[in-house]
Chains A and B, each alone.
Chain A
Amino acid sequence: MAVTDLGADTIAPAMTKTPRDSEGVWSIAWHKLARDRLAVVGALIFAAIVLAAALAPVYATYVAHTDPFHSNINGEIVIDGKPVAVLASSTEGLGLGQTPIGPTWRGAYLLGADDQGRDVAARMFYGGRASLLVSFGATAICIVLGAALGITAGFFGGLIDSITSRVLEILWAFPVYLFAISLSIVTISQGLTIGWVTIEASSLLLPTLIIGIIYTPYIARPVRGQVLALRRTDFVLASIGIGCPTGRILLRDIFPNIAPSLIVMVPLMVALNMLTESALSFLSIGVQAPNASWGTIIQDGQGLLYTRPLVAIAPGIAIVITVLALNVLGDGMRDALDPRSSARAGTAAP
């Protein structure tokens, strides 16, 4: 029993398993994806970045021999037998201030130091960790919250739907960055306390929650549309007719049909969330010290842009590569799971 015409919002109808049709929509999609060379490359690059971020402590301890979270203002390292100060007095302009050491292209201070004498390369590894954690966490929140809201509104209809839809309409129209700024600025100084739960102001959970909430309508609205269409299909009406409990209908009939479109959203949402996280961190309202993310390192590098440009440039390159890999992978997954969309295009953009 294949569902073919569910309206424009539906993606990749799932088939119920019968003995004859053993190859389901997932396995077809998997084979398609594996043949998409660009998408495979994207996936491999992304996997390498995740691995590198996971190995951050290993890099800091065994390669850079430094603690990237403590300033090292009076430190010295030995290059070619000569001691070199990590922060040297500035020789440019009026000679005021200090210029951190540039890239050494060896273990310690591979990409140089920032204005507090911290190893930029080691901070990049840790920064990648924070960026990935926040983007993935926020994506999980968006998908779970968005799917729950969309399914509830679409399936139950009536008053629940009216209220949810109105709320989503407002959230949708609230420009995401302004929404994020409002949420960040009130939580940034004191953290957030709801009942017994207290989230520290420096916790990664705060940006994760904020980004997860602001993008929830992006998931909930299309899901609602799909569920609304599914609600009127024969097989759902039949399930209701034979008296299936609602939970079972949601789990066995509705969810499998929206799952492919949710899965397709994952890499694109992670990419979008990563760009948003870095932008908020750049505005100093995302990831807070002592944590570092790629966005905060770019912000640290702003004052050094003309003397030590690598501090700001290197984390940006990391963001571009990661987001690009995710966008390419997301495109491939969409083509694999939704045969009709191969002509259409749309990528995560802030």
Chain B
Amino acid sequence: MILMLIRRLLQMLFVMFGISVLAFAIFFATPGADPSARIAGRNATPETLIQVRHDFGLDRPLPVQYALLMKRLFITGDLTSFVNRGQEVIPEIVASTPVTLSLVLGAALIWIAAGGLIGVLAAATRGSWLDRGLMIAGMIGVSMPVYWLGSVINLFAQSRLHDSALFSWVPPLGYIAFGDDPLGWFKTLVIPWCTLAVLYAGLYGRVLRGALIESLQEDYVRTARAKGLSESRILLRHALRCSLISVVTLFGLDFGALVGGGALLAEVVFSLPGIGKLTFDALQTLDLPVIMATVIYASFFVVASNAVVDIAYGFIDPRVRDA
């Protein structure tokens, strides 16, 4: 177990190093243009360009430039934006992290609960119209672009039906910190949570249904049936336990993809000032230092959370420990 822990952590560090080198190469060594012009943003003055060259050591060898960037990202934390002169990037990321985490964790809770319900219901009634209906609904959910669904919901909740009883409680777009007003926090986030959950609940339902049906063909289920256990007990206590493994693996992957993808889009549509919105605003102004910082920080977070899921997985399922 300890061996597995160490190996997994080493692998995590290796992947983080790899991603940082790759991101560095993309930002600084893509052929065809002067990186200082990119970092300085649009219409940079010659003085800005000189300062950028000095700051990032662009006249020095690439490994030195890489080390300088990493130092400014993680040790001194003094990377500054050149579009909003002098704005420090790292404090902005730290300030927007709670927003993104609130969004992602809340959505994950909802989609796991909904996905679990869909999967168990569909597996219990497999072949019926309910099963087929749930699977088709799930597939529609997966096929929707999240930012589009968000826009459609905004159209109704903020404008067309805002004065109806159904949506009159909806606050204007934006974010309220949990510490300031817990109820307001919940109100601003509940619609974004559900929007993101729609995307994943169907997928989880499908995967769980498949895993459940597969485990129902296992020998231990036949044994349980032979013991005379009720069908619902077999499904919930015996088959579900084993099927959860596939869901846990999927969760590790999706949670990461969500931080870097779906959540980014949801934050843009719902005007939540999280890391995704920060990245989006930086994309509009081509503010490269901000983008570099958010990309690397968010990727590291994703890699670390994947490692945590894998390690947790080792605790849940003894079979993977020695693998």
Interface residues of A (CB under 8 A from B): 166-167, 169-171, 173-178, 181-183, 185-194, 198, 271, 275, 278-279, 282-285, 295, 298, 301-302, 305-306, 309, 312-313, 316, 319-320, 323-324, 327-328, 331, 343-350
Closest chain B CB from A100 CB (angstroms): 16
Q: Which residue of A lies closest to B307 (CB)?
A: A173
Judging by beta carbons under 8 Å apart, are B147 and A298 in contact? yes
Number of interface residues of B (CB under 8 A): 65
Query: A320 vs B139: C-alpha distance in the bound complex, in angstroms?
Result: 10
Interface-centre pick from A177, A191, A306 (highest chain B CB count, 10 A): A177
CB contacts (< 8 Å) of B262 on chain A: these are 350
Known contacts A173-B302, A305-B154; is A194 also within 8 Å of B268 by CB?
Answer: no
Q: Is B32 touching A328 in the complex (CB atoms < 8 A)?
A: no
Interface contact A166-B18, CB-CB below 8 Å: yes
Measured CB to CB, the nearest residue on chain B to A341 is B210
Name the one of B142, B209, B213, B260 contacting A175, with C-beta atoms under 8 angstroms. B260
Please encode chain B, from 249 to 271, with 1 for each CB lying within 8 Å of some chain A CB and 0 for all others.
00000101101111011001000
Are A347 and B203 CB-contacts (below 8 A) given A282-B147, A302-B151?
A: yes
Q: Known interface pairs A278-B145, A283-B268. Does A343 touch B213 (Cβ–Cβ under 8 Å)? A: yes
* B159 in contact (CB, < 8 A): yes
**B contact residues around A295 at 8 Å (CB):** 145
Q: Render B204-235 as a binary contact track against A, CB cut-off 8 A, 1 for contact.
A: 00110111011000000000000000000000
B280 adjacent to chain A (CB < 8 Å): yes
Q: What's the minimum C-beta distance from B133 to chain A, rounded to whole angstroms?
A: 13
Knowing A186-B30, A327-B142 touch, does A316 contact B152 (C-beta < 8 A)?
A: yes
- In the bound complex, residues from chain A placing their C-beta under 8 Å from that of B203 are 346-347, 349
8 Å CB contact of B283 from A166, A176, A283, A316: A283
Q: Does B195 sit within 8 A of A, measured CB to CB? A: no
CA of A309 to CA of B156, assembled, Å: 10
B257 touches A186 (CB 8 A): no
Contact of A284 among B11, B38, B147, B284 (CB under 8 A): B284
Q: Given the known A-B contacts A181-B291, A186-B38, A347-B142, are A175 and B261 also in contact in the complex, defined by CB atoms under 8 Å?
A: yes
Beyond A344-B214, A345-B209, whether A327 also contacts B260 by CB under 8 A is: no
Residues of A within 8 A of B209 (CB): 345
Chain A's nearest CB lies how many Å from the CB of B173? 11
The answer to whether A305 and B286 touch across the interface, beta carbons within 8 angstroms, is: no
